[in-house]
Amino acid sequence: MTQHIATRFRRTKRTPALRALVQERVLAPSDLIWPMFVTDGDATRTPIPSMPGVERLSVDLIVEQARAARDLGIPAICLFPYTDPALKTQGCEEAWSPDNLSNRATRAIKDAVPEVAVMTDVALDPYNINGHDGIVRDGVIVNDESVEALVKMALAQAEAGADILGPSDMMDGRIGAMRTALEDEGYQDTTILSYAAKYASAFYGPFRDAVGASGALTGDKKTYQMNPANADEALRLVARDLDEGADMVMVKPGQPYLDICRAVKDAFGAPTFAYQVSGEYAMIMAAGQQGWVDEDAVMMESMMAFKRAGCDGVLTYFAPRVAALLNG
């Protein structure tokens, strides 16, 4: 007698049409935020050895990349400045200079390609002589004084025209302080994408090369970034940041923390983003360059993993390649 199998999962896998029909998640260029590194100069590009394919670009070239983002259908880009070491101080004053590199780049982009959303990084590390995200006094990262500095920084970025502020510093109370200041100063519509669940991770190594913070950093960031062993705390941090006025939240790094992405999306239903960080990018590139994995295929699979985990979007250095593939 022939055996009858009621549920055959292979039935809906038989053809591309059937597979497409039952596909649960869809990835689009509109899911992407493209992080880029800005440097001084004109028509200047400097490769970042630990991030093959990524370069630091002068403001004129960043504007060109913003145009490329628009043409690819990528809605937002995210700026990280490579700050001249001579401008790094104990007090991090360059962070809120209206004419610092990040603010100049923001103005230039909003001038040339206003339809692309500009996200900026709110943290003191590019401007800090010791590479920390907050102000250091006698070896301690002081919370409340750092928040005051971060608020000044956020206001300068909003004034320059940033659409999305990305506080990545992990100081307590910064979202509430920024939100109050933005409301008071006439920037009611500036959005905040909080790096809410940001772990003290070794996956940030190549990024610190890219922004020139590797040499500067003394010690580690464990007194403010999260312990990779913690998951419940991530939910409390997200709840806190949403309560203080964040519009969107982020989990960072991305792929090693997909469980956190899913938990955050399920618990709050808020716009949730993952940051596929520099070390994740570097690992895929390194294995791809060795011929050990199919770079494009692994890249696209990693994107789909974020969507499956509940993310609304992904910050990734692969953004232009992913968008180009999706656009055919």
31 vs 133 by CB, closer to ligand PBG: 133
Contact stretch for ligand PBG (CB under 6 A) within 41-49, 106-114, 140-148, 204-212: 204-212
Under the binding rule (CB under 6 A), the answer on residue 277 touching ligand PBG is yes
Under the binding rule (CB under 6 A), the answer on residue 121 touching ligand PBG is yes
The nearest distance, CB 272 to ligand PBG, in angstroms, is 17
Quickly count: other Cβ atoms within 10 Å of residue 271's Cβ.
16
Lookup result for tokens 């990734």: 316
Whether the Cβ atoms of residue 200 and residue 225 lie closer than 8 Å to each other: yes
- Residue in 221, 252, 265, 307 annotated catalytic: 252
CA end-to-end span of the chain: 49
HSE of 74, CA atoms in CB hemisphere, 13 A: 28
Contact stretch for ligand PBG (CB under 6 A) within 97-105, 119-127, 150-158, 176-184: 119-127
Q: Which residues pair with 120 in a beta bridge?
A: 79, 165
152 is catalytic: no
Binding mask 140-179 for ligand PBG (x = CB under 6 A): ----------------------------x-----------
Q: Return the residue of 100, 278, 302, 316 that touches ligand PBG, per CB under 6 A.
A: 278
- Residue in 88, 110, 198, 265 annotated catalytic: 198
Closest CA to 182 of 162, 202, 204: 162
The nearest distance, CB 212 to ligand PBG, in angstroms, is 12
User: Whole-angstrom Cα distance, residue 284 to residue 272?
Assistant: 23
Under the binding rule (CB under 6 A), the answer on residue 125 touching ligand PBG is yes
Whether the Cβ atoms of residue 197 and residue 260 lie closer than 8 Å to each other: yes
221 is catalytic: no
206 vs 310 by CB, closer to ligand PBG: 206
DSSP letter, residue 133: S
Quickly count: other Cβ atoms within 10 Å of residue 155's Cβ.
20
Under the binding rule (CB under 6 A), the answer on residue 133 touching ligand PBG is yes
Closest CA to 132 of 89, 164, 94: 89
Q: Return the residue of 48, 77, 123, 156 that touches ligand PBG, per CB under 6 A.
A: 123
User: Whole-angstrom Cα distance, residue 39 to residue 46?
Assistant: 8
Closest CA to 95 of 78, 120, 118, 61: 120
207 vs 318 by CB, closer to ligand PBG: 207
Under the binding rule (CB under 6 A), the answer on residue 34 touching ligand PBG is no
58 vs 276 by CB, closer to ligand PBG: 276
Binding mask 211-240 for ligand PBG (x = CB under 6 A): ----------x-------------------
Burial of 159 (0-12, 13-18, 19+ CB in 10 A): middle
Tokens matching residue 130: 């010791």
Interface contacts to ligand PBG, rule CB under 6 A: 121, 123, 125, 133, 168, 204, 207-208, 221, 277-278
Among all residues, which ones are annotated catalytic? 198, 252
